[in-house]
Each structure stands twice: as structure tokens, then as C-alpha cells.
Chain A
């Protein structure tokens, strides 16, 4: 009868090699996946911070538009040709005003109107503090006197 010791050693070596290789590939894939996700998150975060830093907008003027609504004219003068600004909130005297969602995107170098509906009636000769906030968290304030 032939001794089977050699075959067993080769089989054991191959088995260990396969197990180690499979585990190695799995570990490599998990590591690469995790690192790629982290890199994407970091890139997205940095991109957001960059866009926030580049974002510039200003309330050019305010118009009376009804007893409880005003029209704001906004200019996007960001330092990036493709940077659009999305208006997130409008506050008038610390009270949130509603506005139409269709007009909330402000294109670069275009003066765009947005009508804000207030929760109160405007009073002649009163001063109103208006705060417009974008989705990236940039704000612009304006003091308007209804005259």
C-alpha cells in the first residue's frame, strides 16, 4: 500500500492557501469599499464647504406686494458660474414666511424675484428685518421700511 502522507500535505497546503486567499480578497474588498466610502464622504463634505464659501447672494430690493406679502429681488453673485442658490427659508421680523417652491432657485448673475407671504399684515411706515437663508446655510439680511 502506498503512503498517503504527501497527498495530505499538499491538500492541507492548498486548503489553507485557498482559505487565506478568499479571506484576503474579502478583507481587501471590505477595506477598499470602506475607504472609498470615506473618501466620497470627505469629498462631498469638502465640496459642500467649498460651495458654501463660494456662495454669495444679496437682497437687492424689496417691494410691497399686498397687505401681507412682499416681493424680494435677489442677486446671486457667487464666485462660480455654475453655482445655483436654493432659498430655504425667509424670515420677516423673526417670523417665518412662506414662498412658492418654484421660485426658490437663484441663477448666477440674474436678479430674481421671490414673493414671501407673511403671517401678519404690514403696517405703513414700520420697519421690517428680513432674513433670507439658503440651503447651504448662508444668510442675507435687509432692513425694509414700508413707506
Chain B
């Protein structure tokens, strides 16, 4: 199994009374509450954690979120560029550039190709649909974002695999008349592609495309539903059954020397759920576009009737460590315990070859994060099962 270290580079140092008063900790919280000197320290620490991972054989994830305490990584390709140069061995996953809020996928493809070249073929490209406050801070129309998501992926894939001079793209959402990026990608035909998503329809399409499906903080049940949709779609399309190499599971995770330490320190990760998810209703449940009106209408009521659409994140706010562990959102304890927790999830979802662990968040500090990474790499990762390859999967290879 591959382990992937995931850190959102959060900014937890805004006074609690400010957060309590704010309608949203994303998009509209003034950036005067973000000290650039503290931010510089955070970047240094988080990037150092990625370098530690490089030495330990733990792959690294570069994410992107905008305008809030939940992440200072506003531009995944920029962080990719640093990781591509500073790490030497491990693979680097962008999960991912918020493609639905970017006006030009060709530009994103160009940035990805550059990072792939700098890293000499260690890049993996993940896509996320984004939504909620990021539509607002990204100035992107929340209606039709799923269509934009797929067209952007198509255009990026075409851009990365075209090597014979300019091609033209006149799609529904994107037009670009002269596409011919330099440098081309290092890996051929292109770096492995992923998407983080939880809805079965999207997973089914990922299955047909053979992309890696990552489920982030969704727990085993929702993950299994998504993975099953992936498998079913491939079977219905007459494609080979996927190996575990097509599936990724992401959870908050912390390994301590003891269960007590693992849970005590790991509980700090819950800040991400309990503090950084606060969004104003107009930027979340009342923002059109995420679900059909038939589903979202109830959100206007002060007491929505049963069956109203809830964002997956809503059910995570206020969660305790015990609940989070029971729901497969948090893995925490000593190495044995964490190994068992991961394998329990593994069995419930039908296997995965990629375990993404969110190992730093909130007030969990740099030293604690590095200890957790070391224990995960040395005491847990070696015991996790090997990946099962998908028969038709095309292994990436270096450009000749």
C-alpha cells in the first residue's frame, strides 16, 4: 500500500471570539487575521514535513483551498513546484487544483506538466469539484460546475497527451484555439489521474475512465457505496474489474507511542471539522447548484423536514474523537491500534491501495506531526497489504 501525507496547512491562530462572531471562517473572514510572518513559519514547517516524508517513503499530497482558516494552500500548482524540486523520491499528488473555479484548464495543464518535468515524473494529478464558499471566493458560477469539472478534465487530458502541434478546443465551457504546451509531461501517456469525490454518479464515471477514486473523510459506508458504483460501472462497460490500486481512502490519522498519546494528539486534528468548516448558509446550504432544487428547497426552512439534503460536512461538525474513530473519520492510537483501524476500514470498503492520512491540522504542532509521520511510516505502513493492480491499468513510464 502507498501512504500519502496530507496536510492542509491550516491557520488556527485566529482568536476564538473572532471565529465565533464570523458568519463564515472561509471566503469572508478578513485576511487581517492572518499574520504573514506566522504563515511563513507554517509553510516552512509543512514543507519540511513533506521532506521528512520523502526520506521515509511516504508520498505527499498538495491540496488547494481558498480564502479561509482551513488552508493556506491557495494554489496547488505553486506548492507542487516546490515539492517537485525539494523532494527526490516520493510521488506527489495534487488533490487538487480546484478546476471548476479556474477559467482556463490549459493553464492548469501547463503548470502540471511543468511540475511533472521538475519532479522527473513523480506527479499524480487529482481533481476536485469544489463548491460552497470556494465558488464565491473563486468567482465561479455554482450552476453547472459538474459539467465544467468533466470538460476541464477532458481538456487537460487532451492537452497533456497532444504532442504534434496546436489543437483547438471549442467546448461548452472552455474555448482555447491554440493549445500546445511546453514542456510536455514527463510521464506518458500522462501522469496518473485521480479525483476526490463521494457521490456514486461521479465514482461511476471515474470507473469508466479508470481514474483513481479518493474518498476524503466520508467513512467506510459512503466510501463503499462509491467504490461499488465504480466497480459496477466498469463491469457494465465491459472493462476489467478494478484492483485496489484504483481506490484511495483519506482520514485524519495520528500514530503515537501509546493509545493514550495517539488519541490525545490525534484529537487535535478534529479542529478541522469542528472549527474550520463553519460557512455562512448563503455560501453553503443555500448556494444553488450543489443539489437539485427538489432536494435543497428544505434548507430554506428553519427546521428542514426529514430527508432534506445535507452536505456531508454538516454531519462532521461537533464530532468527538470516539465518534470520529467509530465512523472511520479518524485513526488514532498506537501503531497496532492504527493498523487495526485501517484494516477494519480496508475490509469494510473492499480494499484500497492508497491510504491518505491527514496528519496535521488545528493546533497539532510540527514536532507532533513529524513524530506521527515517522511512526506511520515505520510501524504501520510496512504492515499494510500490497496493492492489487487493475489489469488494464497503464503504468506510467518516463518519457523516452
The judgment on whether A and B are partners is: no
